Structure 1
Amino acid sequence: MTRFDATTPEERQKLFAEGIVAHRERASPFVTFETHADATAESGGSATDGADAEGENSDAPQQAPPWVQFGDGTLNLDCTDAELDDLKALLGEFPAFKIDDIVRPEETEGVNVRVSALADANRVAQCVERIFREVYDRPEEFRAWVAAV
């Protein structure tokens, strides 16, 4: 891999596919894709590194940035119950992808979801792009990057 971030839908999909190929070639445990927690930060606003738009002194809890991991034919992601509903609807358009496991940790809100994704890198990349856009509600020009390969 020679680049590690992208901001347009086409470039992100290419980035995701390249990350998956690099992961497979290196036989790494997984590849992780991330974006900012706050859409303002993605579109050039004042928030940085996932801090909320009002600054670090806000009483609002810090939200972890959305991420999706891929490894061993499985997508792994954390989401809220509402995002889980969106994920289930989205996966209806990807018949080769199936939710294998949903874990609800007691110490945190939300769920961890594992989705079997036995498809080529391009199809997995399409799904990852749609997860960020439709499940995590990212704007069209959000920045995504490969955080780990």
Structure 2
Amino acid sequence: MTRFDAETAEERRALVEDAIVAHRERTSPFLTLEAELPESAGEDAVPPWIQLSEDTLNLDCTDAELDRLKSLLDEYRSFSVDELVRPEEAEGTNARVLARTDDERIAQFVEDVFRQVYDRGEDYRLWAAEV
């Protein structure tokens, strides 16, 4: 991989597809994708992220984000919630979503999660943080 960030929907989907291929070729344990935080975010803010390992996507959600994720999954029949974990020491829920589809569809899902679940704007920057 020669690029690790993208700012348009088309570029972000291509970045995710390329990162998935690189992740699989390297047989790394997981791929981490992060959305850049807006400048208005506080110092303690954590950027939203999605990890991919084999056919499982892993992400943290607030209750509102989890509701939006469940609604989004109605549009993606090849994706399903595998596990929801609500740690006592943390706020929110860790969601594990199984993806039984191709890389292109995973890339579209990732884009829609950042836009619809995490409420990122049309021009947000996506980083392939760990491949």
TM-score range, shorter chain: over 0.9
Partner Cα distance (1:94, 1:17) in 2: 17
The Cα shift of 1:4 comes to: 0.2
After superposition, the C-alpha distances for 1:76-103 in whole angstroms (9 at most, x for unaligned) are: 0001011000000001111000000000
State the Cα RMSD in Å: 1.1
Structure 2 counterparts to residues 67-78 of structure 1, below 5 A? 67-78=49-60
Indicate the residue corresponding to 1:91 in structure 2. 73
Partner Cα distance (1:119, 1:27) in 2: 19
The Cα shift of 1:116 comes to: 0.2
Q: How many residue pairs end up in the alignment?
A: 131
The Cα shift of 1:24 comes to: 1.0
| 8 Å CA contact retained: 2:31, 2:128 | yes
Partner Cα distance (1:121, 1:71) in 2: 13
Indicate the residue corresponding to 1:136 in structure 2. 118
Unaligned ranges ≥5, structure 1: 42-46, 57-61
Unaligned ranges ≥5, structure 2: none
After superposition, the C-alpha distances for 1:105-140 in whole angstroms (9 at most, x for unaligned) are: 111100000000121111100000000000000000
Highest CA radius of gyration, 1 or 2?
1
Structure 1 runs of 4+ off > 6 angstroms?
none
What TM-score results when the alignment is normalised by the length of structure 2? 0.96
The Cα shift of 1:25 comes to: 1.1
SS at match of 2:66: helix
Residue 124 (structure 1) aligned with residue 98 (structure 2): no
Indicate the percent of aligned positions where both proteins have the same amino acid: 58
Write the letter of the residue equivalent to 2:74. Answer: G
Partner Cα distance (1:65, 1:135) in 2: 13
